[in-house]
C-alpha cells in the first residue's frame, strides 16, 4: 500500500536539517503545517519557524516524532543516541528514519532503535544550503523501493542524489562530504594567484568562483571526460599548457588522489570504532 505521509519530524534543524526542510517543502513532499522541527535553543526554533512556516520548538523530540511518517535525525552525531532514546517508544516500525549524521553506520542507528524499520543513511554536503548539494544515500533492507524514491525526492530538491551501498560511504565522505573544503582551497589559491599577478580582489574572486562553477557545469552538461575538456583549452605552445606543466610538476592530481585515499581510510577507522563502541 502506498505510504501517506501526514507528518515529517526534523529533529535538529541546524544547517542540514533546515536545508532538508526547504527540500521537503520545495519537492511538495509535505506542506509547512505537516512539518515539525526541533532544535536545542528557542532562538533557533523561532528562526526556523519564521523562515519556513513550520512548527518548531526547542526540545520536544518525542512529541515531534509521535505520529510522524518520516523522522529525520539531523543533530550532531554525538547526540543521535540520546535523541533516539527520547523517541524510541513512539516509533512502531512503520516510520521511515533518515539519519544524516556523518560516520554513523546504519547498524548503529538500528541498534539504538531496537526494532526493524526502514533506516536511511544520507551523506549530504554543505552546498545543500544553496540547493546544489551532492548527497549519497544508503538504505537497510527494510526499506522498500517506494521508500527509496520518497527519500530521493526529498534530497533531490537540494541538489544531486546518488544511491550507494553503505560500504561506499567512507569514500563518499572523502569525496563529496569533505570535497567542498578542497575546492574552497582551490578557489582561494586561484584568487591569490590573481592577486599576485595584479588583479583586484573583487575581480580575482569573481573570476575564480565562476571558473570553478562554469567548468563543473560543462562537465555535467557535455558528459565529456574532464581530460577531453582540458585538452580543448590547450593550444600548442600556449599559456594553458605552461600552467599545466607546473601543476603536473607539483603533482596536483596525485595529491588529490592521495588526499581522498587518506580521508577514506580515516573515515573507515572511525566507522569501525563506532561499530565496536555500539556493540559494547
What residues line the site for ligand NAP (CB under 6 A)?
A: 11-17, 38-41, 44, 61, 74-77, 79, 83, 100-102, 123-126, 177
Going along the chain, which residue ranges are E strands?
8-11, 35-39, 55-58, 70-73, 96-99, 119-123, 133-139, 159-163
Closer to ligand NAP by Cβ: residue 26 or 116 = 26
What's the closest the beta carbon of residue 135 comes to ligand NAP, in angstroms?
8
Closer to ligand NAP by Cβ: residue 69 or 77 = 77
Sign of CA dihedral 189, 193, 199, 200: positive
What's the closest the beta carbon of residue 201 comes to ligand NAP, in angstroms?
27
* Angle between helix 77-87 and helix 106-113 axes, rounded to 10 deg: 30
- Distance from C-alpha of 56 to C-alpha of 45, rounded to nearest angstrom: 5
Closer to ligand NAP by Cβ: residue 41 or 210 = 41
Residue number with the smallest Cβ distance to ligand NAP = 14
Closer to ligand NAP by Cβ: residue 13 or 191 = 13
How does strand 119-123 pair with strand 133-139? antiparallel
Closer to ligand NAP by Cβ: residue 63 or 218 = 63
What's the closest the beta carbon of residue 258 comes to ligand NAP, in angstroms?
22
- Distance from C-alpha of 169 to C-alpha of 264, rounded to nearest angstrom: 9
What's the closest the beta carbon of residue 237 comes to ligand NAP, in angstroms?
43
Q: 215 Cβ partners below 8 Å, 6+ apart? A: 229
What's the closest the beta carbon of residue 95 comes to ligand NAP, in angstroms?
17
Amino acid at each position: 500500500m502506498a505510504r501517506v505521509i501526514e507528518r515529517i519530524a526534523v529533529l535538529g534543524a541546524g544547517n542540514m536539517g533546515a536545508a532538508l526542510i526547504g527540500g521537503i517543502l520545495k519537492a511538495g513532499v509535505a506542506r509547512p503545517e505537516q512539518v515539525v522541527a526541533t532544535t536545542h535553543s528557542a532562538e533557533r526554533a523561532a528562526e526556523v519557524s519564521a523562515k519556513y512556516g513550520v512548527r518548531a520548538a526547542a526540545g520536544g523530540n518525542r512529541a515531534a516524532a509521535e505520529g510522524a511518517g518520516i523522522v529525520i535525525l539531523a543533530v550532531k552525531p554525538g547526540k543521535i543516541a540520546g535523541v533516539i532514546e527520547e523517541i524510541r517508544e513512539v516509533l512502531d516500525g512503520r516510520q521511515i528514519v533518515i539519519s544524516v549524521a556523518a560516520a554513523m553506520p546504519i547498524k548503529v542507528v538500528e541498534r539504538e532503535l531496537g526494532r526493524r524499520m526502514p533506516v536511511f543513511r544520507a551523506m549530504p554536503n554543505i552546498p545543500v544550503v544553496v540547493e546544489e548539494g551532492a548527497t549519497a544515500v544508503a538504505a537497510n533492507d527494510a526499506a522498500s523501493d517506494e521508500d527509496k524514491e520518497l527519500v530521493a525526492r526529498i534530497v533531490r530538491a537540494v541538489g544531486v542524489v546518488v544511491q550507494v551501498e553503505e560500504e561506499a560511504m567512507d569514500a563518499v565522505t572523502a569525496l563529496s562530504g569533505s570535497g567542498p573544503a578542497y575546492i574552497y582551497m582551490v578557489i582561494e589559491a586561484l584568487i591569490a594567484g590573481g592577486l599576485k599577478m595584479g588583479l583586484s580582489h573583487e575581480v580575482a574572486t569573481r573570476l575564480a568562483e565562476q571558473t570553478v562553477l562554469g567548468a563543473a557545469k560543462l562537465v555535467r552538461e557535455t558528459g565529456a571526460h574532464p581530460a577531453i575538456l582540458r585538452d580543448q583549452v590547450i593550444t600548442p605552445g600556449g599559456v594553458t599548457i605552461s600552467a599545466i606543466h607546473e601543476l603536473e610538476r607539483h603533482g596536483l592530481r596525485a595529491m588529490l588522489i592521495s588526499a581522498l585515499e587518506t580521508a577514506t581510510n580515516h573515515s573507515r577507522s572511525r566507522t569501525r570504532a563506532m561499530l565496536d563502541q555500539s556493540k559494547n
